[in-house]
Structure 1
Amino acid sequence: MKFSNLKSIAGKVVGSLKLLALPPSNLWLKSLSLIALLGVSSLSWAAKEVTIGYQGMYNPMKYVIDKQLVEKNTGYTVKWRKFDSGAKAITAMAAGAVDLTVAGSSPIASAASNGVDMQLIWVMENIADAEALVVRNDSGISSPADLKGKKIGVPFVSTTHFHMLFALEQFGLTEKDVKLINMQPNAIMAAWQRGDIDGAYIWDPALGKIKQTGKVLLSSKLLSSWGKPTFDGLIANTEFARQNSEFVAQLLSQIAKADREYQQAKESFNANNPIAVSVAKLSGSQPDDVVEAMSLYEFLDVDTQLSCQWLGCGEKGGAVKALKATSEFLLKEKKISALKPDYSVFVNPTYAEKAKAEL
C-alpha cells in the first residue's frame, strides 16, 4: 500500500477520533493502531483504486469505459487515462503510473524485452486492415518502390512502425532509402494537411481522415499474412493483477460482453448503436466514421482468446510467438538491446479463463 493511501486512511481515522474527543497528542498513535487492527479491511479499501490506460483505437472497450461498467460491477474507483501511442503507455506502465493499459504488440514486445514487469492478459483486436500505409494522392507513389526518398510519418515503437520496417525489408528498401519521421497521430494529421509528409502508417481516427486525400498502399492485414501479425493487447502489472485477480477477471468479462454485443449487431451496426456513440465520444470522431473503421478490425471471442492462436498453449501460442518474432525484429533494427530467453512468461491466460467463467 502506498504511503499516500496510508495517510488518507489515517486522516479518516483521526477525524473519527476527534468525534470521540480523544487528546490531540494521541490522535496519530491511535490512528495507526486502529489501522493495524483493521488490517486487511483497510488494505482492501485502499486497493480499490486503479488506473487503466487506453488509446484512441475504435473498439467496444470504449463503451465499457463510457458507461462505467467496470466501476458499477466491481466497486473499484477507476481512473481512465488516454495515451496517444503504445510507447507512451508502456513508459507509464514502467514508471508505475498505470496498473493496466492497452498497447500494440510492438510496444508490448519492446516492454517485455526491456524487463517491464507486466503480462499480456487479453487481445483487444487483431489489427488486420485497421492500420495501413496511406500515401498522398499527389505524392507520386504508386508502388512500394516509389517510397524511396519520400517522407513517411509513423509513431516509433508502435505496431505500424514494426510493420513499416517489415514492409521496407520485403521490398528491398532500408531506412536510409525512406525518411521515417517519428510522429504521433495528431501530429501526422497536421503534417498531412500542411503537405509536410508524403505518407503515413497509422490507425483511426487519423487513418480515416488522411484516406480522404490519399490512397492505401498496403495494410497490416497483408503484412500479417506474410508471417508478421500485429495486434492490440491489454497488459497488466504482474503484482497488481495477482493481488486483484477478481477485479481483472471482471474487467475482462465486461470487455468480452461488449465485444460480443458488437459481433451480434455487426450486420446491422450503425451510427445510432450505443457502442458506436461511445466509441465516437471517447475517440473524438463521428459515429458514422466509427462504423466503417470498426469493420476493419477482428475482435475475438473468449474461446478464440484462449486458443493456441492467441493466449493459450504456452510458448507454442500465437501471442507468445508474435511477441518473440517482433522482439527479434526490433533487435535487428537496434530498437532493443537483447532478447529474453522465454516470452511465455509475459502472456497469462488465467484471467481470461476466469472471465470466461463469469460470462
Structure 2
Amino acid sequence: MKIQKLVKNIALASTLLCSVSSWAAKEVTIGYQGMYNPMKYAIDTEMFEQATGYEIKWRKFDSGAKAITAMAAGAVDMTVAGSSPIASAASKGIEMELIWIMENIADAEALVVRDGSGITSPTDLKGKKIAVPFVSTTHFHMLFALEQFGLSEKEVKLINMQPNAIMAAWQRGDIDGAFIWDPALGKIKQNGSVLVTSKQLSAWGKPTFDGMIASKEFTQENEDFVVTFLSTLAKVDRSYVEGRDTMTADNPMAKSVAKISGGDAAGVVEAMKLYEFLDFDGQLSCQWMGCGAEGGATQALKSTSEFLLEEKKITELQPDYSLYVNPTFAEKAKAAM
C-alpha cells in the first residue's frame, strides 16, 4: 500500500510539474523602443495577450544596442531593434533571427542641426558636436553620411547619447546637431532644420529598417505564438495604413502610441506618416525577407555589417546573413489569414 501511495504521489507531483511547466511556457518577455508605430496600440489594448493567451512582459529600451544586449543575456525572448544593431548581433553570432520588418524607416530618422549652430551645409559639420545613439540605425547612417560628404569621423565630434539625453543636451545648447528618431526628432525640429534623412541615405545605397527579432530557441519552442503574434501585428499595421489619411489626434491609435512611446497625439499622427509599414506581400518580397541570400533584408544586414567592420564596430563578418532572416513565420501567418 505504501508503494502504491508513493507511486500516486509521484504521479501527482509529475502532473503538477507539467502544469507549472505548461503555465511557464506561456510567459514571454518582449522588448520595444520608442518609435511611433501601430504596435504600440496593440500593446496598450493588450491585443497580443488576447490573441495568443500568453502573459507578455513588455520591456522598453532606449536603443537597439541595449535590446540586443538583453537578448544575448537571455533577458528577452523577442525585441524590436534597428537594422544596424541587428547586423551587429548577427555578426557576433547571437542566436536570433529577424522575423518581421517593423517599418521601413524612410524619413522617420534624420540629421537635424540646431538653429544658430552655423551649419547650413555638410561641410559645416567640421568641428561640430553631433549626438547619436551608437550602434543604432542613425549611427550607421551618420557614418555613411560623413563618408558621402567626404568627411572623416575625426573631423566631426560624434557623441554617444540616448534619445532622452539628446533632448536635454539640445535644450541646454550642448550639441550642434543630432541624428535621431521620434519623439526626440519632432522636438528638436522645432528649433532646428533637417540636413539629411535616412530616406535620402537609403537611396544612396544603404537602406535601414526596424525589425522584430526573436531568440531561435524561443521560436522553435513557441511557433504557434510567433505566428499568431505576427498575424495580430499585420492586422494592426493594416488598420493603420487603411486609415492613415484620415487619422487625427483624437484617434484611439494615435492616443495609444503617444501614451506608450511618449509625446503628443498630434505629433504621432505626423510622425507615423514618415514610415512605411509593410503588408505580408511586402514582408515576403525579395525587397525584404524573401529570396534568401539575395533578399533585401539579408543584403542590408550584410552591407551594414561590412560598414561596421570598416568602422571597427565589429571584429568579423558572417559567411551567410540569410541564416539570421527567417520569413517562415510570416509565411504561416499569411496562410492562416
* Same fold (TM > 0.5): yes
> How far apart are residue 36 of structure 1 and its match?
3.1
Amino acid at match of 2:122: P
Q: Deviations over 1:209-267 (max 9, x none)?
A: 00000000000000000010000000000010111001011111111101100110011
- List aligned pairs for 1:163-178, cutoff 5 A: 163-178=141-156
8 Å contact 1:35–1:42 — kept in the other structure?
A: no
Residue of structure 2 in register with 1:138 after alignment: 116
Q: 1:290 aligns with which of 268, 272, 289?
A: 268
Counterpart in the other structure of 2:328: 350
> SS of the residue aligned with 1:336?
coil
Q: Which runs of 5+ in 1 are unaligned?
A: 1-25
2:279 is aligned to 301
Q: Matched residues in 1 for 2:105 and 2:284: separation?
A: 18
Which of 35, 49, 55 aligns to 1:77? It is: 55
- Corresponding position of 1:158: 136
CA change 1:30–1:91 in 2 (3 A) is farther
Matched, 1:185 2:150: no
Q: 1:176 offset after TM fit, Å? A: 0.3
Q: Name the amino acid aligned to 2:76.
A: V
SS of residue matched to 2:193:
strand
Q: 2:307 aligns with which of 329, 335, 342?
A: 329
CA 1:30–1:222: 2 relative to 1, 3 Å: farther
Secondary structure of the structure 2 residue equivalent to 1:176 = helix
- What is the CA-CA distance between 1:32 and the residue it aligns to? 6.4
- The 3-state SS of whatever aligns with 2:28 is strand
Distance (whole Å) between structure 1 residues aligned to residue 280 and residue 22 of structure 2: 29
1:34 is displaced (CA, Å) by: 3.2
Post-superposition shift, 1:42? Answer: 4.3
Give the aligned partner of residue 91 of structure 2: 113
Give the Cα–Cα distance (whole angstroms) in 2 for the partners of residues 80 and 319 of structure 1: 26
Task: State the distance in 2 between where 1:130 and 1:139 align.
Answer: 22
Q: Which residue of 2 aligns with 1:149?
A: 127
Q: Secondary structure at the match of 1:80?
A: strand
Alignment length, in residue pairs? 334
Q: Which has the larger radius of gyration?
A: 1
Q: How far apart, in 2, do the equivalents of 1:250 and 1:57 lie?
A: 22
Alpha-carbon distance between aligned partners in 2 of 1:241 and 1:134, rounded to the nearest angstrom: 39
1:43: Cα distance to partner? 2.9
Shift of 1:73: 1.1
Q: Which amino acid in 2 is paired with 1:55?
A: Q
List alignment gaps of at least 5 residues for structure 2. none
* Deviation for aligned residue 1:38: 6.0
Per-residue CA distance 1:55-108 (angstroms, 9 max, x = gap): 000000001100101111111000000000000000000000000000000000
Alignment partner of 1:203 is 2:181:
yes
Partner of 1:315: 293
Aligned residue in 2 for 1:260: 238
Change (3 A) 1:32 1:262: farther
1:275-334 Cα shifts (integer Å, max 9, x gaps)? 111100001111000000000001101110001110111001000000000000000000
Q: Provide TM-score, normalisation by structure 1.
A: 0.90
State the secondary structure of the residue aligned to 2:153.
coil
Superposed, 1:24-39 pairs within 5 Å as 33-37=11-15
Please show how residues 224-263 of structure 1 align to structure 2 within 5 Å: 224-263=202-241
Distance 1:248 1:31, change over 3 A: farther
Identity value in percent? 73
User: 2:208 corresponds to which letter in structure 1?
Assistant: T
CA distance in 2, matches of 1:107, 1:208: 23
1:336 alignment partner AA: I
Whole-Å Cα distance in 2 between the matches of residues 307 and 298 of structure 1? 15
1:218 aligns with 2:193: no
Give the secondary-structure state (helix, strand or coil) at the position aligned to 2:214: strand
User: Which residue identity does 2:278 align to in structure 1?
Assistant: L
Q: Structure 1 residues 30 and 156, CA, compared in 2 at 3 Å: closer, same or farther?
A: farther
TM-score computed with the length of structure 2 as normaliser: 0.96
1:103 pairs with 2:81: yes
The secondary structure found in structure 2 opposite 1:59 is coil
Matched AA of 1:198: D
AA matched with 2:66: K
What is the root-mean-square deviation of aligned Cα atoms in Å?
1.7
Distance in 2 between the 1:116 and 1:327 partners? 14
Amino acid paired to 2:54: Y
Deviation at 1:33, TM superposition (A): 4.9
